Structure 1
Amino acid sequence: MSYKQIKWMILFIPTITVAIWEYVRHQFLLPYISMDLGNWLTPVLVYIVSITLLTRLFQMLERIQKELENARSAKAALEAREELARELHDGIAQSLFLLSVKAEKLESGNDMKQQEQHVLSIRKTIHEVNRYVRQAITNLRLDRDVTADGNQNSPSLVKQVHAISKDIRTPIQIGWELEDHRQTDKEKIELLACIREALINMDKYALATEGSITAIGMSHSWKITISDNGKGFEGDPFVKKNKFGLRIMKERCHEMGWIMNMYRKDGRTIVEIQKGGLI
């Protein structure tokens, strides 16, 4: 019996039962059963039918719903595995193959300048592999908020940012006014990766004693500002040899269609990531 048939039977069985009972009572049982007794017997009969027949139908309905939930869970798990396999293939496996090719070139090369370029290229590839691994882990460990009706919502950005800020030594002040309930999972993953990279640089290289994160805007237009009182930088940080993390961060923003700026102002290093028009 299908799910739809069970629902229709649950709706119609009490009605049909009462209709048949009333017809039989008025056509055949009036000489034997008084009106008052018949009125009392009607709810008793409906109760008996509900206990015997409807209870079984409800059990069948619950079993079908449970099977549907299990099927959805299995499908979600399969999709997650396929997504992870795609990320491992497209990101990590290809990068490791490229890394092996570059290592062979490094071994066979004699030119010191060329060898230095190969080393820098290998280091960049290692950073990219690290990026792919962190993104895959983020996709798998992404927490879900559950609403009152049992539906799963996309993870709250501000909760994830607070969790990231607790992993670094620099104290971080967070002012979050971004309406992120309409952000896609892809946008949240990319944003979290950029924020994590900025905080790691702040903690590892800037020697900052305090930092801040502010976020304003809505789903279609927003700006996130990350600042610290560290030692800062000179020149263009994106062209320096060892700043692979910053370059990957900028490439990530470019791929998402966001604008990223990094500059010094009033003794502070400021990283801005912006989507949409000016705020």
Structure 2
Amino acid sequence: MWEYVRHSFLLPYVSMDLGNWLAPLLVFLVTMTLLRKLFAMMESLQEDLQKERAAKAALEEREHIARELHDGIAQSLFLLSVRVDRVEQTHKGILTEALRETYQSLRKTVYEVNEYVRQAIAGLRYPVNPASMPWMESIYNLVEEFRHDTGISVHVSWSLTESRLTMKEKVELYSTIREAMINVYKHAQASTIWIEGRDAGQEGWRCEVKDDGQGFLPDINQESTGGFGLMMIRERAVTLQWSFEIRQESQHTLVIIGKEGKQ
């Protein structure tokens, strides 16, 4: 373009020698302008690549730690709770009130420690950037593991908007759903569980865990084998200011938790 312009229009004003000097200068300026943008793009891409590699390494390490916790401490705590229950049942007829209270306190402590470990596992399995992995993936993984371990059919219907839950609420709701399913497995003798999550109002939500078991309405204020898990769900709901309800409906037992939203 420069050669065409100078030979066609600038020869009366720009000598050949000056034109020959200006040509490489213009090429240099144009090239440097383009190269600076190109190098800036390459540097940006390199930084993004390094960030992705660091995030991937962190996620892999978090998943490794979570797996170690699940296969080690969590399993040991579960076996410990089973043994505590077994010992208490074996000596049920000869336990004094003081020993019974000691067993209840021990069971509660084991349960709380197990909850802390489970929450830690759930927290580790969240990616550094929560938006990069749907929260529901952890719920579906939980359901799939439960199906595999118990043989109980589980159906999930979920339309709850994730943005309505804080990260803490996601972890606690995950633990609540897991505890409700375990409670069904232990006490309801059910063959099917239905889990539903949906929005309620402008900012609220509602989650239901329903089963077709034998049905029971235990006193959730008592730390009994039947009501202890439900009592922990209720305490969690009170702490987070959630609503909590358990009721019978058409030969089904429903555990309902939720959070009030704007109407």
1:89-123 deviation line (CA, Å, top 9, x unaligned): xxxxxxxxxxxxxxxxxxxxxx9211111111111
Instruction: Tell whether 2:152 aligns with 1:164.
Output: no
Q: Match of 2:100, as an amino acid?
A: E
- Does the 8 A contact of 1:222 with 1:274 survive in 2? yes
Q: CA deviation at 1:204?
A: 2.7
Residues 43, 261 of structure 1: alpha-carbon distance in 2 compared, 3 angstrom cutoff: farther
Supply the distance in 2 between the matched residues of 1:40 and 1:137 (Cα, whole angstroms).
Answer: 66
Q: CA deviation at 1:154?
A: 6.9
1:60-112 deviation line (CA, Å, top 9, x unaligned): 66667778x49x96xx99xx9xxx9xxxxxxxxxxxxxxxxxxxxxxxxxx92
In structure 2, what is the equivalent of residue 273 of structure 1? 257
Residues 200, 52 of structure 1: alpha-carbon distance in 2 compared, 3 angstrom cutoff: same
Q: So what's the TM-score if we normalise by structure 1?
A: 0.62
Instruction: Tell whether 2:156 aligns with 1:174.
Output: yes
Supply the distance in 1 between the matched residues of 2:211 and 2:160 (Cα, whole angstroms).
Answer: 20
Q: CA deviation at 1:272?
A: 0.2
Structure 2 residues not aligned, in runs of 5+: 1-9, 67-94
In structure 2, what is the equivalent of residue 264 of structure 1? 248
Residues 216, 255 of structure 1: alpha-carbon distance in 2 compared, 3 angstrom cutoff: same
In structure 2, what is the equivalent of residue 139 of structure 1? 123
Q: Match of 2:254, as an amino acid?
A: I
Q: So what's the TM-score if we normalise by structure 2?
A: 0.66
Q: Match of 2:114, as an amino acid?
A: N
Residues 192, 44 of structure 1: alpha-carbon distance in 2 compared, 3 angstrom cutoff: same
Supply the distance in 1 between the matched residues of 2:135 and 2:36 (Cα, whole angstroms).
Answer: 49
In structure 1, what is the equivalent of residue 16 of structure 2? 32
Q: CA deviation at 1:278?
A: 9.2
Supply the distance in 2 between the matched residues of 1:163 and 1:175 (Cα, whole angstroms).
Answer: 15
SS of the aligned residue for 1:241 comes to: coil
Q: 2:210 aligns with which of 224, 227, 232?
A: 227
In structure 2, what is the equivalent of residue 216 of structure 1? 198
In structure 2, what is the equivalent of residue 189 of structure 1? 171
In structure 2, what is the equivalent of residue 202 of structure 1? 184
- Does the 8 A contact of 1:208 with 1:231 survive in 2? yes
Residues 141, 216 of structure 1: alpha-carbon distance in 2 compared, 3 angstrom cutoff: same
Q: 1:254 aligns with which of 233, 238, 241?
A: 238
Supply the distance in 1 between the matched residues of 2:21 and 2:198 (Cα, whole angstroms).
Answer: 69
Q: CA deviation at 1:266?
A: 1.5
Q: Match of 2:99, as an amino acid?
A: Q
Q: Match of 2:237, as an amino acid?
A: C
- Does the 8 A contact of 1:227 with 1:270 survive in 2? yes
SS of the aligned residue for 1:239 comes to: coil
Bigger Cα displacement from structure 2, 39-48 vs 224-233: 39-48
Supply the distance in 1 between the matched residues of 2:100 and 2:130 (Cα, whole angstroms).
Answer: 50
In structure 2, what is the equivalent of residue 122 of structure 1? 106
Q: Match of 2:31, as an amino acid?
A: I
- Does the 8 A contact of 1:127 with 1:244 survive in 2? no
In structure 2, what is the equivalent of residue 107 of structure 1? none
Q: 1:236 aligns with which of 219, 232, 235?
A: 219
Q: CA deviation at 1:142?
A: 2.2
Supply the distance in 1 between the matched residues of 2:218 and 2:141 (Cα, whole angstroms).
Answer: 32
Q: CA deviation at 1:159?
A: 2.5
Residues 213, 50 of structure 1: alpha-carbon distance in 2 compared, 3 angstrom cutoff: same
Bigger Cα displacement from structure 2, 205-214 vs 153-162: 153-162
- Does the 8 A contact of 2:217 with 2:246 survive in 1? no
- Does the 8 A contact of 2:222 with 2:228 survive in 1? no
Percent identity of the aligned residues?
26
Supply the distance in 2 between the matched residues of 1:132 and 1:186 (Cα, whole angstroms).
Answer: 13
- Does the 8 A contact of 2:157 with 2:197 survive in 1? yes
